[in-house]
């Protein structure tokens, strides 16, 4: 019943996957204190190299993008060297791996990068704070961000592109830009967080300008065939929805299609969620407006994913927590073996 998941899939002429099962990006907070990937991380990813493609945990592009403890970076030479070890281990097992490039925007916290200055700037489209506190460090509440200037925006675009170049130097097969889940790029795409009145806000085209500029800068650095993007047209995490958001994505998705990305990936925890302003689920909305390679995600079993792919709801499936519990997930699907259930205690170590 899951045979289609195990068939090879060509993303393009450059990258061919051994199967349609992707390991979803899973934040583990296990890098060292310099945000360098460890040997334990390399072994963790290598054990999952049977996935058609691993998408790494989110990797911050520069210090002020950090919003969680011990999340790895891609902006120092030591971090690049650490990732070289990870990609080498994955490739030695016959796998492929993309780096997910990340800036958390208004849910970053100066505790991580302010060098003792609790008032160090937090970057966001507008000076509108998110409610709540830092996961795993609940004593740290979110700050009111500064609205980024044009110089800030140009710097961010350049740093995304440099992080992509660093990823290729580190041996990654490509990158997925994290444009979802209420982080910086997603903050430009939703009315809840973008109240700008310049060329980066107000209209659909303006709200999509920064995300598209990041995509274009990365394509210019590493090629469209190695560039992917994750998006959350339905606001559900670190963000409140607005019915006007759909029009922004109605504009964005055809623009992305022109760029011939390696793939587009839905950002959602549970794809059974429906959004009134999207007319249903996030994946069904995107599929109706984007015809190229689409990655589904969000609480799918292998059987459910196989059926969805047969029904052309998406082309590839990203699996999250079951990959934490089952390093041999692909083998178990292939052999129709029962899966080990995920539990939160599994987050305390890399197995």
CB 315 within 8 A of CB 19: no
Query: What are the residues whose beta carbons fall under 8 Å from the beta carbon of 345, sequence distance 6 or more?
Result: none
Task: List the end-to-end C-alpha distance of the chain, in Å, as a whole number.
Answer: 29
The question of whether 183 is a catalytic residue gets the answer: yes
* Catalytically annotated residue among 45, 160, 183, 290: 183
Neighbours of 9 (CB within 10 A): 21
Cα distance between residue 200 and residue 204, in whole Å = 9
Residue 88 exposed, middle or buried by CB count within 10 Å (0-12, 13-18, 19+) = middle
Cα distance between residue 208 and residue 199, in whole Å = 10
| Secondary structure letter of residue 37 according to DSSP | P
Say whether 191 sits in a helix, a strand or coil.
coil
Which residues are known to be catalytic?
Answer: 183
């Amino acid at each position: 019943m899951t045979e289609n998941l195990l068939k090879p899939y060509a993303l393009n002429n450059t990258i061919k996957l051994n199967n349609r099962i992707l390991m979803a990006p899973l934040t583990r907070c296990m890098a060292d204190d310099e945000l360098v990937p460890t040997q334990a991380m390399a072994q963790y990813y290598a054990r999952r190299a049977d996935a058609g493609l691993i998408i790494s945990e989110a990797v911050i592009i520069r210090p002020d993008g950090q919003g969680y403890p011990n999340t790895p970076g891609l902006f120092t030479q030591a971090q690049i060297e650490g990732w070289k070890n990870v990609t080498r281990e994955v490739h030695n097992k016959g796998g492929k791996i993309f780096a997910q490039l990340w800036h958390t925007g208004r849910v970053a916290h100066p505790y991580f990068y302010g060098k003792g200055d609790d008032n160090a700037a937090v970057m966001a489209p507008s000076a509108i704070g998110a409610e709540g506190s830092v996961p795993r460090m609940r004593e740290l509440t979110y700050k009111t961000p500064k609205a980024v200037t044009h110089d800030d925006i140009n710097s961010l675009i350049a740093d995304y592109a440099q992080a992509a170049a660093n990823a290729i130097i580190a041996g990654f097969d490509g990158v997925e830009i994290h444009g979802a889940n209420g982080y910086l790029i997603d903050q430009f795409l939703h009315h809840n967080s973008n109240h700008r009145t310049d060329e980066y806000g107000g209209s659909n085209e303006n709200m999509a300008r920064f995300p598209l500029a990041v995509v274009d800068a990365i394509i210019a650095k590493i090629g469209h065939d190695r560039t992917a993007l994750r998006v959350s047209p339905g606001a559900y995490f670190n963000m409140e929805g607005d019915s006007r958001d759909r029009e922004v994505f109605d504009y964005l998705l055809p623009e992305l299609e022109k760029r011939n990305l390696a793939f587009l990936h839905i950002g959602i925890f549970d794809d059974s969620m429906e959004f009134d302003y999207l007319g249903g689920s996030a994946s069904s909305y995107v599929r109706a407006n984007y015809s190229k390679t689409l990655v589904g995600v969000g609480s799918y079993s292998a059987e459910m994913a196989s059926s969805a792919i047969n029904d052309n709801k998406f082309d590839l499936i990203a699996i999250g927590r079951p990959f934490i519990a089952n390093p041999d997930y692909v083998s178990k699907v292939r052999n129709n073996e029962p899966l080990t259930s995920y539990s939160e205690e599994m987050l305390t170590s890399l197995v």
